[in-house]
Amino acid sequence: MSPVDSLRTETKFKNTEIGEIPVDWAVVQLRDISQKPEYGYTTSAIEKPVGPKFLRITDIQNGHVNWSAVPYCDCPDSIKKKYILKSGDILFARTGATTGKSFLIQDCPEAVFASYLIKITPTPTSKINSEFLYFVFNSHIYWKQIRQAISGSAQGGINSTVLSKIRVPLPPFIEQGKIADILGSVDEAIEKKQQIIEKTNKLKKGLMQELLTRGIGHTKFKKTEIGEIPAQWRIKKLREIGRLRGGSGFPEKYQGNSDREYPFIKVSDMNLPGNEIYLKHSANTIDINIKEELGCHIFPKDTIVFAKVGAALLLNRRRILTKESCIDNNMMGLEISKENDPRFYYYVMQTIDFADYVFPGTLPSVNQRVLGNIKVVSPSFNEQSTISRILMGIDEKIEAQNKHLKKIEKIKIGLMATLLTGKIRVRY
């Protein structure tokens, strides 16, 4: 019987400080089941292997540590024992953008932890499963308490006192292990999916480099001002590929309506789910009367749009319009001419770093003239289309994998909400 097949619905609950839990569960504070929280070691990181690895907040990315990239430190043997990391230890970021986030130590080389981290070590006699506890630290049960603690703190961080008082549910020890196994198996599925996406992205990056500089089936090449390219290709300025236009102002009184004729695209729309390549959704729309009043240009389908000002400019995000749309004055559109493939130039645009063309000033910006003079490759229309189809095919695979990943992540959220509160129990 698999762990999931052994699930059952709980019917008997009791009210506690953290909400309803099964009658046979307990609620404990972290100080009841762990040793006294320890602050990390204060020293400087060293690239040379002079001592143990020196784990810092910045080394923990998305719940993972690349131990080969973690630096070392000079930590005398006389004090190393206090800071050495062991399997089952849990680290917490006590300040900064990741305040409250945790990391479970499993297999690691000899390592100590830095001063902006706090270490919790479950006591051997407390009958607490470290993996189960780590999942609790990723749940709403924990984060609700952390947010309350941070809001009441002048410094906005957490400390050992705050952590010691955190309340956690305590199922029977065997059930803790079963819950950790189920959630751990979902995490493994998530990690495998992320690895597939990462490998596919690397494949796409390599193909883009090859196809956008070497083309398909060419044997003769020539040197140009932007590098070696097929002899049959030409070099053109971006303004020769299509027409660059800026957007229009969008008064607040016209915003908030989503069922009119023309989408009015803002920079924030580029981040909406489903808008990764093609811009399919917008939060705002206008009708023909508003369009005429504002005097805004209607950008045709297949226009490549991007931010032209602010921090969003430096993210180098480009999107392709799927329908006639207006864009706001923080954006610019490249209307590709009929003799060129918009999808090919979408990928060419991905290789252009706008940071190289930013206009000096306090607010990053680029102007139409500068962008229009950027030199790009110009293969035949047929070759453009062939290249774009290859790259679009890979992007479609990446998009499908990302959708599947989101489904698995959604399943995990649901399982955590039910398993960690005992609404669904594991038979044992």
Contact residues for 415 (Cβ-Cβ < 8 A; gap 6+): 182, 183, 186, 424
Write down all domains in the chain, each with its CATH number in brackets.
26-170 (3.90.220.20), 234-378 (3.90.220.20)
The pLDDT value recorded for residue 121 is 95
pLDDT > 70 in the chain, percent: 98
46 DSSP β-pair partners: 72
The pLDDT value recorded for residue 276 is 87
Distance, CA of 298 to CA of 293 (rounded, Å): 13
* Higher pLDDT among residues 157 and 264, named by residue: 264
What average pLDDT does range 223-232 have in this prediction? 96
Q: Is the confidence at residue 188, as pLDDT, over 80?
A: yes
What average pLDDT does range 206-235 have in this prediction? 96
Q: Is the confidence at residue 127, as pLDDT, over 80?
A: yes
Q: Is the confidence at residue 169, as pLDDT, over 60?
A: yes
Distance, CA of 220 to CA of 27 (rounded, Å): 73
Q: Is the confidence at residue 36, as pLDDT, over 70?
A: yes
pLDDT in tens, 60-83: 988 899 999 999 999 998 899 999
Mean pLDDT, all residues of the chain: 93
Half-sphere exposure of 367 (CA within 13 A, CB side): 5
The pLDDT value recorded for residue 161 is 93
Task: Output the pTM of the full model.
Answer: 0.84
Distance, CA of 35 to CA of 38 (rounded, Å): 9
Lookup result for tokens 């059952």: 8
- Which of the four pLDDT bands, split at 50, 70 and 90, describes residue 343? very high
Residue 270 has a CB neighbour count (10 Å cut-off) of 20
Signed CA dihedral, 386, 392, 398, 400: sign only: negative
What average pLDDT does range 225-254 have in this prediction? 95
Q: Is the confidence at residue 167, as pLDDT, over 70?
A: yes
Signed CA dihedral, 378, 379, 383, 387: sign only: negative
The pLDDT value recorded for residue 5 is 61
What average pLDDT does range 141-169 have in this prediction? 88
Distance, CA of 17 to CA of 29 (rounded, Å): 11
Distance, CA of 355 to CA of 19 (rounded, Å): 50
Signed CA dihedral, 339, 342, 348, 349: sign only: positive
